[in-house]
Amino acid sequence: MAQPDSQEIGDATTAVHSQPDSKTRRYDRQLRLWAASGQSALESSRTLVISASATSTSILKNLVLPGIGHFTLLDADAVSPADAGNNFFLNGYSSIGKNKAEEAVPLLTELNESVDGKAEVKPIDEVLQTDEGRNWVKSFSLVIAHNLSQDTLDTLSKLLWDGLGNPPLIVVRSAGFLADFFIQFHEQCIIEPHSETFPSLRLTRPFPALAEWANSTDYDKLDPTEHAHIPFPIILVKATEKWKAEHDGQLPKVYAEKQAFKAAIRDLQKKMDEENFDEAEAQAWRISGEVPVPSEIKSLFALTPLVPASSSSSTNGSSVSEQSNAAFHTLLQTLKLFVESPEGPGCLPLTSTLPDMHTDTESYVRLQRMYKEQAGKEAALFKKILKANFPDTPVDDGMVDLFVKNTHHVNVLRGKRWGAWEEDKSAVASSLESDPRETATHLALSALSNLQSKGIDVTADALRADILTRLPPNTELPEEMTNAVGELERSPTADVPNTAAFLGGMIAQEAIKMITKQYVPVKGYCVVDLVESWTGVVGA
Amino acid sequence: MNGNSTSSDWDGRYFHVDQILDKPGPRTDPSFLAGDGVKDFLRNQCKILVIGAGGLGCEILANLALSGFKDIHVIDMDTIDISNLNRQFLFRQKDVGKPKATVAAEFIMNRVPGVQVTPYYGKIQDKDEDYYMQFNLVVCGLDSVEARRWINATLVNMVDPENPESLKPLIDGGTEGFKGQARVILPTVSSCYECSLDMLNKPTAFPICTIANTPRLPEHCIEWASVLEWPRVFGDKKLDTDDPEHIGWLFNHALKRAKEFKIEGVTWSLTQGVVKNIIPAIASTNAIIAASCCNEAFKIATSSAAYLNNYFMLIGTDGVYSYTFEHEQRKDCPVCGGESLDISIKKDWTVERLIEMLVEKQDIQIKKPSLSTPTKQIYLQAPPQLEQATRPNLEKKVSELVEDGGDITVTAASLPFNLSLRIKYI
Ligand SMILES: [Zn+2]
């Protein structure tokens, strides 16, 4: 008899036949989230972190542990007694006087030997002054900056905004219990958002094999066991056909109709405990939710690809992220053609994943095969359309498969330049009305950064005066502003350990989302208040 | 400056934290003793207990140490596994197999001079009320519901209204993938862990008949191998989910069954995930939740700012979404509520059926409950003689043993509390 090990199962995903290697075991708990594709994206990423503060090293810790490819930590300053007291990635007292980045990097790389880390002992302002330095900054896949002075931040954010292929920039600001952060990016194409909703099962427009199964099912000819095991999609396809025949081809729309539709399913039950019919009734909502193309996907069809700014100084051709975004747009256009194609189903491609349901093994496996076969056919049509219409655009086959699998949930985010939102004072003012605590905290942090850059004493009055310049004349500051301003006056330069650790986790989550293009990063300014323990978003 | 660089505070060491401690903010309670008073309490008097030295625990220990807590105790019963290293950042490859509590404590004391971390490698249940009474605060970073219920009930039971010192704030954190939550529990005063039991995700349980007769998913085949096939082949030999040979055996048998039923998708990783009930875990989410817990511990210990009232929930999968709200105490909470829980059952329900319900009901979830009324024992799980003596009652109708509106007291060996049920018949 053959050993189970040598059995073939016919699916590449079952190829893991023995205990995984030590790398897979080490990363097991995260591979269950972002899989090998996410891991390999992390491993080929290169992150630059500017300033070796407690917040910065906390962020890096959470990127080194999951295994990013490379990081550079840039800081020209020496470790102060204060740094030695609040930064876990320094050697306490004995680090005082030595360079911050050089002290921190070995303690960070020690966390994961597969990560390459480098300390860069240079002032960022000096780096940004030369072409060589600017190109070096642009060569990373992600740049993160904590509490930079306002002028430096302006220069850096403009440099990185100028060119579609430049790395995204995460700007982090914090003082005491308050903080905010912002991701500057042109475009983020998300191929695997890990949505928790199931894609359409194609119940209202059944593909031939599914329709055939439904048609050939005669409830009266089945024995009680068979009757209790008809899979719910078959019941719903039949019920939908019947309803449409009796209602001029329309689906149940209003509440009373939906209730009547459910009642019709209930009436089919031969015994009270037929769970498959209960399930069909519970899943009946799918019928009215099935549209050929969800509106979020339709709006992606209308997106025009970004055109490089006229002043783009990108000299070394298009970057990896630019190429992958271009490929994504090609796939979106192909998807539009697929939906319009007379050869196609007139809707998004079928996904082969089925939810579990009350039925017997044979029926489930049969249904699963049916969905898989049809999904395969539609994927082949998708590829045919891609090849016919975009013969010169090379798209990686794995990316095409992933895209086709996720067409119900793919997403494109368009970002803003750092600071662009604040240029529209009336938008800021209306945000201050609708989201007073978030907007107040954000404005107070901007004011703090401005005062510190100019060497002005941080007092509540100075902060308020600065904030007023950021709003239309005669704007009244809400009570929430007193809270934000008071906290910043109390602790204007405090990088406290808990806030640093909190931000370390938040920024690393966002960095991972940006790098893997899985899950959805935050748009706008994410504001954090650790007095009342809330987060919020403004300026999205 | 002090010449001894590893054991004493140096000037400026607490520059960052002291900005918070030297003066109040707009939302700080007037009772805050800014300056030396609060610093002395935090650094010389406050004693804090950390339960769990895993994903959250490692982060919690580091944050507390940097924040200025100097007398920290940590309990953990686990040893270090290679799959911990992607997030439990106080452990290295060379530490695999060693107790988490001990390694974590040593690491913190080396990195943050002057902090005393006292480890205990064992179970929280090994310790009694006297032990827990010595702490000012308890921070909990556990992945076990059972252990959390135990410490929650223990701390609630310890509260003596005559003695304010007996009220130990419990700060609890938990994560799953990109999601997590942190909460502050003031035993008897605010909603406790037991009060919110129904907020837990229902664990996926596969019906035995599906596993035995109509498998559809690869998970069903794996459950078949572990729940039915393993005991059939090995009898009483215990399945060790950490033993690769055992997992290998399950994997091979699950695969064979999957092939027989033409089911796809049985992998080693899925087998391990199902039998160990693995929850995805990453460093960044643990960092956020641990920081939130420590921030609350710091604010409670110092009164430097208002603390969380009382629940913070974070979802990082789609943008950054968080929700801060006050979870309400349940009057019929078996731990902190005092009132009995009303249960309506059919008149023909047997005791066995009632027990089944107690095990499954989201807000009760008591494994192996023993039942009694003020006057008689209905069913006791232990000792064996009493179990045997009360076993015939399992078949009896509850209505034959308890009158309408009567009370049943439910106890379980694993939980230090009694649940009082008021039975109504429908
Ligand atoms: Zn309670």
Tell me the pLDDT tens digit for each residue of A90-125.
999 999 999 999 999 999 999 999 999 999 999 999
Quick check: is A11 in a domain? no
The pair of three-digit structure tokens given for residue A538, joined into one six-digit string: 């403004």
Decide yes or no: CATH 3.30.70.260 for domain B341-425: no
Pick the catalytic residue: B209, B221, B293, B294? B209
A3 → chain B, closest CA residue? B252
Distance of residue B376 Cα from the nearest chain A Cα, in angstroms: 37
Q: Give me ligand 1 centre to Cα B184, in Å.
A: 13
What is the pTM assigned to this prediction?
0.94
The backbone torsions φ and ψ at residue B344, rounded to the nearest 5 degrees and listed phi first, read -105, 125
Distance of residue A88 Cα from the nearest chain B Cα, in angstroms: 7
The backbone torsions φ and ψ at residue B166, rounded to the nearest 5 degrees and listed phi first, read -80, -10
Q: Is the pLDDT of residue A308 over 70?
A: no
List strands edge to edge, sheet with B415-425: B341-345, B415-425, B407-412, B370-372, B377-379
Q: Which of A498, A499, A527, A535 to mutate to test the interface with B (most CBs of B within 10 A)?
A: A498
- Under CATH, which number does the domain B208-276 receive? 1.10.10.520
User: What is the average pLDDT score of chain A?
Assistant: 93
B2 → chain A, closest CA residue? A93
Comparing CB atoms, the residue among A33, A490, A497 nearest residue B25 is: A490
**Chain B residues with beta carbon closer than 8 angstroms to that of A62:** 282-284, 287
Are the Cβ atoms of B13 and A519 closer than 8 angstroms? no
Indicate the pLDDT class of residue A317, thresholds 50, 70 and 90: low
The pair of three-digit structure tokens given for residue A471, joined into one six-digit string: 């709003």
What CA–CA distance (Å, rounded) separates A91 from A397?
48
**Chain A residues with beta carbon closer than 8 angstroms to that of B109:** none
Distance of residue A178 Cα from the nearest chain B Cα, in angstroms: 12
What CA–CA distance (Å, rounded) separates B84 from A159?
40
Distance of residue A232 Cα from the nearest chain B Cα, in angstroms: 14
Q: Is the pLDDT of residue A5 over 80?
A: no
Indicate the pLDDT class of residue B1, thresholds 50, 70 and 90: very low
Indicate the pLDDT class of residue A17, thresholds 50, 70 and 90: low
Task: List all residues 6 or more positions away from B128 whose beta carbon is below 8 Å from its beta carbon.
Answer: none
The pair of three-digit structure tokens given for residue B285, joined into one six-digit string: 């989410």
**Chain A residues with beta carbon closer than 8 angstroms to that of B83:** 25-26, 28-29
pLDDT digits (tens, 9 = 90+) for B132-184: 999 999 999 998 999 999 999 999 999 999 999 999 999 999 999 999 999 99
Comparing CB atoms, the residue among B10, B278, B289 nearest residue A81 is: B10
Beta strand B179-185 pairing with B311-315? antiparallel
Final residue in a domain of this structure, among A411, A436, A471: A411
**Chain A residues with beta carbon closer than 8 angstroms to that of B86:** 26-30, 65-67
CATH number of the domain to which A104 belongs: 3.40.50.720
CB contacts < 8 A, A to B, total 297
| pLDDT attached to residue A319 | 77
* Pair A392, A529 in one domain: no
Comparing CB atoms, the residue among A3, A93, A494 nearest residue B19 is: A494
Q: Is the pLDDT of residue B32 over 90?
A: yes
Average pLDDT on A510-519 reads 97
Decide: helix, strand or coil at residue B13: coil
Q: Is the pLDDT of residue B203 over 90?
A: no
Final residue in a domain of this structure, among A243, A266, A289: A289
Average pLDDT on A166-185 reads 98
Are the Cβ atoms of A531 and B215 closer than 8 angstroms? no
* Pair A320, A466 in one domain: no
Are the Cβ atoms of A532 and B27 closer than 8 angstroms? yes
Q: Closest Cα to residue A41, out of A198, A189, A196?
A: A189
Distance of residue B358 Cα from the nearest chain A Cα, in angstroms: 23
Q: Is the pLDDT of residue B413 over 90?
A: no
Q: How many CA atoms lie within 13 A of A520 on its CB side?
A: 19
| pLDDT attached to residue A394 | 84
pLDDT digits (tens, 9 = 90+) for A189-212: 999 999 888 889 999 999 999 999
Quick check: is A455 in a domain? yes
Q: Are A141 and A167 in contact, with CB atoms under 8 Å apart?
A: yes
**Chain B residues with beta carbon closer than 8 angstroms to that of A498:** 63, 67, 291-292, 294-295, 298
User: What is the average pLDDT score of chain B?
Assistant: 94
pLDDT digits (tens, 9 = 90+) for B177-188: 999 999 999 999
Q: Are A124 and A116 in contact, with CB atoms under 8 Å apart?
A: no
What CA–CA distance (Å, rounded) separates A231 from A363?
7
What is the residue type of B387?
E
Quick check: is A187 in a domain? yes
Q: Is the pLDDT of residue A12 over 60?
A: no
Comparing CB atoms, the residue among A4, A65, A500 nearest residue B252 is: A4
B89 → chain A, closest CA residue? A111
Inter-CA distances, A54 with A97, A507, A535, B37, B358, Å: 16, 13, 20, 26, 48
**Chain A residues with beta carbon closer than 8 angstroms to that of B317:** 194, 196, 519-520
Are the Cβ atoms of B253 and A4 closer than 8 angstroms? yes
Q: Which of A39, A86, A93, A96 to mutate to test the interface with B (most CBs of B within 10 A)?
A: A93
Average pLDDT on A216-236 reads 95
* Pair A360, A458 in one domain: no
Indicate the pLDDT class of residue A320, thresholds 50, 70 and 90: confident
Are the Cβ atoms of A505 and B6 closer than 8 angstroms? no
A500 → chain B, closest CA residue? B291
Comparing CB atoms, the residue among B83, B112, B317 nearest residue A92 is: B112
Comparing CB atoms, the residue among B26, B273, B292 nearest residue A502 is: B292
- Under CATH, which number does the domain B7-200+281-325 receive? 3.40.50.720
| pLDDT attached to residue B205 | 81
* Pair A266, A374 in one domain: no
| pLDDT attached to residue B69 | 98
What are the boundaries of each domain within chain B? 7-200+281-325, 208-276, 341-425
Distance of residue A132 Cα from the nearest chain B Cα, in angstroms: 33
Inter-CA distances, A534 with A446, B310, B396, Å: 19, 11, 52
Q: Closest Cα to residue B92, out of B78, B109, B80?
A: B80
A80 → chain B, closest CA residue? B12
Distance of residue A131 Cα from the nearest chain B Cα, in angstroms: 35
Q: Does the structure's ipTM exceed the value 0.85?
A: yes
* Pair A265, A328 in one domain: no
Average pLDDT on A386-403 reads 92
| pLDDT attached to residue B3 | 40
Q: Closest Cα to residue A87, out of A111, A72, A108, A69?
A: A108
Quick check: is A63 in a domain? yes
Q: How far is CA B158 from the centre of its chain?
A: 18
Q: Give me ligand 1 centre to Cα B153, in Å.
A: 8
Q: Are A108 and A64 in contact, with CB atoms under 8 Å apart?
A: yes
* Pair A389, A437 in one domain: no
* Pair A305, A403 in one domain: yes
Report residues near ion ligand 1: CB below 5 Å. B 192, 194-195, 333, 335-336
> Strands, DSSP E only, in A121-196?
142-146, 169-175, 178-184, 187-190
pLDDT digits (tens, 9 = 90+) for B241-256: 999 999 999 999 999 9
- Respond yes or no: is residue B209 known to be catalytic: yes
Beta strand B47-51 pairing with B370-372? unpaired
B214-229: string of b/e by CB count within 10 Å (b at 16+)?
bbbbbbbbbbbbbbeb
| pLDDT attached to residue B363 | 84
What CA–CA distance (Å, rounded) separates A294 from B153?
48
Comparing CB atoms, the residue among B23, B26, B282 nearest residue A482 is: B26
* Pair A448, A335 in one domain: no
Quick check: is A250 in a domain? yes
pLDDT digits (tens, 9 = 90+) for A406-429: 999 999 999 999 999 999 999 999
Quick check: is A428 in a domain? yes
Q: Are B170 and B187 in contact, with CB atoms under 8 Å apart?
A: yes
Average pLDDT on A158-174 reads 96
Q: Give me ligand 1 centre to Cα A391, in Å.
A: 65
Name the domain count of chain A.
4
The pair of three-digit structure tokens given for residue A185, joined into one six-digit string: 């990016």
* Pair A480, A502 in one domain: no
The pair of three-digit structure tokens given for residue A523, joined into one six-digit string: 């748009």
| pLDDT attached to residue B339 | 83
H helix or E strand, kind and range, residue A12: none
More confident residue, B23 or A9: B23
**Chain A residues with beta carbon closer than 8 angstroms to that of B269:** 16, 20, 24, 28, 31-32
B6 → chain A, closest CA residue? A93
* Pair A123, A44 in one domain: yes
Distance of residue B416 Cα from the nearest chain A Cα, in angstroms: 32
Number of Cβ within 10 Å of residue B322's Cβ equals: 21
Average pLDDT on B315-343 reads 93
What CA–CA distance (Å, rounded) separates A111 from B89?
7
| pLDDT attached to residue A115 | 98
Are the Cβ atoms of B295 and A533 closer than 8 angstroms? yes
Decide: helix, strand or coil at residue B72: strand
Q: Is the pLDDT of residue B2 over 80?
A: no
Quick check: is A4 in a domain? no
Indicate the pLDDT class of residue B415, thresholds 50, 70 and 90: confident
What CA–CA distance (Å, rounded) separates A147 from A150?
9
pLDDT digits (tens, 9 = 90+) for A19-39: 889 999 999 999 999 999 999
Comparing CB atoms, the residue among B15, B285, B295 nearest residue A509 is: B285
Average pLDDT on A10-17 reads 43
Are the Cβ atoms of B286 and A505 closer than 8 angstroms? yes
* Pair A152, A101 in one domain: yes
Average pLDDT on A215-233 reads 95
Domain range holding A529? 30-193+495-535
Quick check: is A200 in a domain? no
| pLDDT attached to residue B9 | 86
Q: Which of B318, B325, B326 to mutate to test the interface with A (most CBs of A within 10 A)?
A: B318
Rg of chain B (C-alpha set): 25
The pair of three-digit structure tokens given for residue A143, joined into one six-digit string: 């740049």
